[in-house]
Structure 1
């Protein structure tokens, strides 16, 4: 479909405070050509161009999940599922998970750790049209300390030469960014604890410098309060988790938060759809402390971006909206939340061609029943998904159904 005019009750242009009521989007050759009032575009666009009309619906930019692991299966033993899997079978499973995300309205995913650069191969298959899936931004093997968090993915380093060599290997494999496990994590038995540093401040600076030398940014997995400070000082682009943990509990540093804002460091809290159970497991006092820190960062102006950590235990690939509902429960407004999933995510990932519906940008867009600016559950009522202007098969209704509404 080279050219199509899509009309709906509203078009969220992006940011989410920019809405065209009774709006339309003209898609041409995989890109957004024009956005405007439906009456104007209906009159201006040639009669032979297909019209897709969606009464009661909203057209908006496709959403981004800034933190996924397509190689993981969301089961109880993700390490075993990755480390022991046959490469061909794992590749097939990853393609299925990517398709699940696209069907949920996620048109871009940032994969922050896989095995054998399998995400790069999947990215190529999707880009060529051989497979259907979201746009993939791939980190390949994350850098970690020997025996450290997610060392089973093949990115263990100890010396400065190791760091340079691993980054070079990732670049050669086709990485779009570098991921560093700056602190420990809960997923890897026997590794450093979540608040313990895996790299020195000097090593973190080297990682950022080497990545920049190759034209890449750095995403840092960082739970520990001191590690978060070191990552911000080193110049990473995003902090993943950012839970401000110490051996004594949650302790955040307002000075570091201010530096995040000043240096345009975005935060991906990595919240999955099972967040209610997670809060229960934390206990009321720790949960209250965690929420308070998030709200203080928000008040300070930290840019939050949407990410589910899909693939780790309990974080399922089809439940993107559950993560957004966590932020709604904290009092984030719906426009704020939609921006986390669209324009803020695109800014943090340095994607100038997506995140909003504007002339010249990729036609990554979704059509949902209702108005997500007032009802986040509308994001579960996906009617159509377009990726680079291509309609995704398996949407809730066919394109013919939409034309019949004329």
Structure 2
């Protein structure tokens, strides 16, 4: 595997900024990070890449919520139903490749069919230049006819839920996804503000998953589901739109529950500015209030990461995560906080904190290099100069 010595004008290491820096990479790992003036002379001859006077290195970005099985078309559910698993796997390869090319070196896939994302992740482990590291949930748990039942994860009853969690563990999933509340993409399921499972059901899933060493990601649009998920001990809250029958209500009780517990709020941000944003009408009317709630979570010190929900529509392509950073800045995040949310903190939320999300000795050599200074202009993240995944140069 290649050895590289990379020189950059500035660096964000996952938590903080520094000036001109040198990074050494070998055998898929970062072996040393130093001031550019402390560059060693290495007789083994690493390949030197000097990216020039106006570039920034960052850890590869991490999207905590994607659906590689969705093709970002106007009706991805219908498209999904029309393709067999072989066609779907090829579609997922293309989606994953577009993410990696944008500098997204790891994703959590929180809902697929037939455990295809697990298989794809193993494929990419052997060929890291082809796609990001994938943490897969497999088919998400949902009641019969429940939200996203078309992925094949319909499960009800205590023993069936335990068995389903064990099945995901046996298949090699890295997280268990439960559709705790209803959603917007499944006609006939419960509305997004309503819970689909009982507290006993939820506790069964969390206890069995944690017994097996798996975290639990809970799809939660409704305030009721958010509070239930926290009480049951889930690890990440997905979407967090504070919905009630009357609309979005980010009230003090719910905000305090999220900020006061060791749980990550995976906020659904990031849209392609060149494509019309067309969320469901019921949700579109509440976006202002939802964002107020997200801003309040940040003020209260909640643990926030970004899961784009990539794939659910044309405005959510699989390379959309860099656009989310500008939205975090609009919510009051500093540049350090915004970038940490898509690097170091996202790695921790995805169970990858020991390996990814930081530029430091021992971390995986997942690296994004961009032209310009993202501390001053978030759009610099879109001007990619280089991408490395597991020490392999992708672009």
Q: Which TM-score band (shorter chain)? A: over 0.9
Task: Give the Cα separation in 2 of the matches to 1:316 and 1:48.
Answer: 40
Contact 2:193–2:244 (8 Å) recurs in 1: yes
For residue 284 of structure 1, report the CA deviation from its aligned partner. 9.1
The corresponding residue for 2:270 is 272
Residue number in structure 2 paired with 1:135: 133
Q: Superposed, which structure 2 residues align to 1:113-152 within 5 Å?
A: 113-129=111-127, 132-152=130-150
User: RMSD in angstroms over aligned alpha carbons?
Assistant: 1.9
Q: State the 1:390 CA deviation.
A: 0.8
Question: How far did 1:234 drift?
Answer: 0.4
Partner of 1:367: 369
Distance 1:108 1:78, change over 3 A: same
Matching residue of 1:402: none
Alignment counterpart, residue 101 of structure 1, candidates 87, 99, 102: 99
| Contact kept in structure 1, 2:250 and 2:289, CA below 8 Å | no
Deviation string, structure 1 residues 293-315 (Cα, Å, up to 9, x no partner) = 11111111111112210111231
TM-score normalised by L of structure 1: 0.92
Work out the CA distance in 2 between the residues paired with 1:63 and 1:80. Answer: 30
The range that moved more, 275-284 or 261-270, is 275-284
Pairwise CA distance, 1:263: 2.6
Distance (Å, rounded) in 2 between the aligned partners of 1:63 and 1:217 = 21
Does the 8 Å contact 1:65/1:341 carry over to 2? yes
Alignment deviations for residues 232-283 of structure 1 (CA, whole Å, 9 cap, x no partner)? 1000111000101000111234334333333311111122315883589679
1:8 to 2:5 alignment: no
Distance 1:215 1:283 in 2: 35
Equivalent of residue 378 in structure 2, options 376, 389, 394: 376
Partner of 1:398: none
Q: Distance between the aligned counterparts of 1:284 and 1:86, measured in 2?
A: 33
For residues 228 and 65 of structure 1, the distance between their equivalents in structure 2, rounded to whole angstroms, comes to 21
Relative distance call for 1:287 and 1:77 in structure 2 (3 A) is: closer
Q: 5+ unaligned residues in a row in structure 1: which ranges?
A: 396-406
Q: 1:181 aligns with which of 175, 179, 182?
A: 179
For residues 329 and 47 of structure 2, the distance between their equivalents in structure 1, rounded to whole angstroms, comes to 37
Alignment of 1:160-175 (within 5 A): 160-175=158-173
- CA change 1:344–1:208 in 2 (3 A) is same
Deviation at 1:222, TM superposition (A): 0.4
CA change 1:34–1:114 in 2 (3 A) is same
Whether 1:45 aligns to 2:42 is yes
Write the distance in 2 (CA, Å) between the matches of 1:162 and 1:47.
Answer: 56
Which position in structure 1 is the counterpart of 2:387? 385
Supply the distance in 2 between the matched residues of 1:2 and 1:369 (Cα, whole angstroms).
23
**Secondary structure at the counterpart of residue 20 of structure 2:** strand
Q: Quote the Cα distance in structure 1 between the aligned partners of 2:212 and 2:258.
A: 23
| In structure 2, distance between residues paired with 1:174 and 1:65 | 20
Question: How many angstroms does 1:59 deviate by?
Answer: 1.0
Matches within 5 A, 1:21-100: 21-41=19-39, 43-46=40-43, 48-55=45-52, 56-100=54-98
Distance change in 2, residues 1:47/1:153 (3 Å): closer
- Conserved in 1, the CA contact under 8 Å of 2:129 and 2:389? no
SS across alignment from 2:298: helix
Task: Return the alpha-carbon distance in structure 2 between the equivalents of residues 308 and 155 of structure 1.
Answer: 22
Residues 354-376 of structure 1: CA distance to partner in whole angstroms, max 9, x if unpaired?
11011111011111101111111
* CA apart distance, 1:131: 6.7
1:298 and 2:295 are equivalent in the alignment? no
Cα distance in 2 between the residues matched to 1:238 and 1:4: 36
Instruction: Report the TM-score when normalising by structure 2.
Output: 0.94
Given that residues 347 and 357 in structure 2 are in contact (C-alpha distance below 8 angstroms), is that contact kept between their aligned partners in structure 1? Answer: yes
1:11 is paired with a residue whose SS is strand
2:166 and 2:44 map into 1 onto residues whose CA distance is 53
Task: Report how many residues are paired.
Answer: 390
Residues of 1 paired with 2:186 and 2:239: CA distance?
A: 16
Q: Secondary structure at the match of 2:139?
A: coil
Question: What is the rounded CA distance, in whole Å, between the counterparts of 2:261 and 2:289 in structure 1?
Answer: 25
Report the secondary structure of 1:59's partner residue: strand
In structure 1, C-alpha distance between the alignment counterparts of 2:270 and 2:169, rounded to whole Å: 29
